[in-house]
A and B are shown apart, each in its own frame.
Chain A
Amino acid sequence: MPKLRLKRGDILRLEGLLSLQVEEGRVLISGGLYEKGSKISIPKAKSLPLEAEEDAVVDYSLGEGGHIEHLSERTIPPEWDALIRDIVDKRPRLVMVMGNVDVGKTFFTTYVANTLLRHGIRAAAVDGDVGQADIGPPSTVGVGLFERPVGLLYEIPMLSAYFVGSMSPSGHMLEFIVGMARMVERGLREAEMVIVNTPGWIFGGPARSLQLHLVELLRPDIVVALQQDKELEHLLACIPQTNVRRIPTSKSVRPRSRDERAFLRELLLGRYFNNAGRMVLDLRRVRLERCYYRTGQPIDQRSLGIREPILHAEKLPEGLLVVVKRALSQDAIRELKKRFEQVKVIEAGSERYLLVGLVDKTNELLGLGIIERIDYSRERMTVITPVRDRDRIWAVQIGSMKVKPSGKEVGVLRPGSF
């Protein structure tokens, strides 16, 4: 294995694919302390800073795209360290990190939590980046605990996750905000401090609404505004300034394209469902959440007087819900509307590939699933899921994204249609 001899204060940029072991001395990677015998692997397309705390020797091996670069100066702005010193002194319970997409919020969170660990403070991180979740699978918000230094946020053990239902908070703002609150609550139970990584959705009415209500709900002790320029000022104008710390981004931020983000999501979801199996759930035993189906009074299909075959019918306060084998004729819909005013029609099969959350009796997320089919007459749902223990599943939370087990996104369910 090739060796690097480092002098105290040397700075390197480590680009994956790369693995490294400290043979002598102490180095900081992403702010975390790595001593003699410590190992780290950096995946492809990720890069991390290394700083030699003292003279050190490291063994390394490079894989595809792997690269080590000596830098003449630190990539971490001095403002970050000043902020961390303040955090160590004041011990806030909740730190919220705001920033646009691709400004390095995830790296900042990792750097801060790793550095706090060196000061004996165990932090939890809440990951609100629903599409590119580092803690928990995509479509969830998750919370994890820093028990040891990590190079990348996804390496920390997950404590809990909450299914949002889609790859973005847009259209799922309530689920998102409930999830964030629950994850923070969970993090505060296990750690001295929680660092909340918010989504990079900062422009436009819905984004403003989400970010500012999140601040109101969580009431962070410190809001860290990670800015390249002044792109967060429109939000910060509405937050008590005593809580706000404006800091610049790291110099090593690498933006991701929309396609790259979609590809990464597919990769993560594909990996998540890689070892998934098929499971049949009895809908008379397992509750469905976040949908209209099975929330009303069942009706005998024959009493509707419709010639087309109807698999299931129920009366809701909002009107009638019917499940049909194929689309109803306009005449049949007109007939039903005369009696029920509003009619929701679910075409059997339209639920295929729908992403769902599987939760236990305490509403804790056990894992994700993909609906393969629902047998409406026998009241059975077949899901593809890595969750193994069927008896622990008490409820299925319906999302709006359709994905194949390969991770490929194949559609979106119209809200209110199921």
Chain B
Amino acid sequence: MTFEQSELQRLVEVIIDLLQRYWHDPGAIEVIQSELDKLYRKIPIYAGIQANCLSQVVVPIPTNQLQEGEEVSILLKDDAIVVGKVSKVTPSEVKLVECKQFERPRSCAEVTLPIQNIREVRLLARDVLKREWPSLDFKA
């Protein structure tokens, strides 16, 4: 194979890049997922256009360029995230409405969880290629 015969690879690369940059930002991830879903439903055949559009879904912007009504996700200096709609911007503050706040992810060495507090346990698998297709598990 010489050239890419579709833009699918570029789309996958854009998705990987977005996930790497925004994995800790539930606000951004929600918009990325919903836009990707919409793009795929509307133009499933045009992976290149999906990749172009998707890379414009989350864009860093200086606070002085924010406009009222825009939907933003703001990363604070303590790594907490606030998602909401801009209602007012002054040189000293940004006011958001319809907000959701997310704590910053914390590492901990050990934790004990009472069973009655657990709603669902999700098993995480790494190196699935090695498990499912060992002959294709090449050195990256």
Contacts and interface: CB of A to CB of B under 8 A. Distances in A.
Interface stretch (B16-24, B40-48, B77-85, B115-123): B40-48
A368 to B, nearest CB: 18
A415 B47 CA distance: 12
A206 interface: yes
Closest 7 CB pairs of A and B: A205-B4, A171-B45, A414-B44, A205-B3, A209-B3, A208-B3, A209-B5
Interface size class of A (residues with CB under 8 A): 10 to 19
B137 interface: no
Contacts of B3: 205-206, 208-209, 212
Residue of B3, B4, B48 contacting most chain A CB atoms (<10 Å):
B3
Nearest to B43: A412
Interface residues of B, number: 14
**Chain B binding surface, main DSSP class:** loop
A400 interface: yes
A415 B43 CA distance: 10
Nearest to A207: B3
A204 B45 contact: no
B41 to A, nearest CB: 8
Interface of A: 166, 168, 170-173, 204-206, 208-209, 212, 400, 411-415
Contact of A170 (B2, B42, B46): B46
A206 B4 contact: yes
Nearest to B40: A414
Contacts of B46: 168, 170-171, 412
B6 interface: yes
B5 A205 contact: yes
A206 B2 CA distance: 10
A168 B49 CA distance: 13
A400 B42 contact: no
A205 B43 CA distance: 19
A415 B45 contact: yes
Given A204-B7, A206-B4, A170 B48 contact: yes
Contacts of B40: 414
Interface string B38-60: 00111111101000000000000
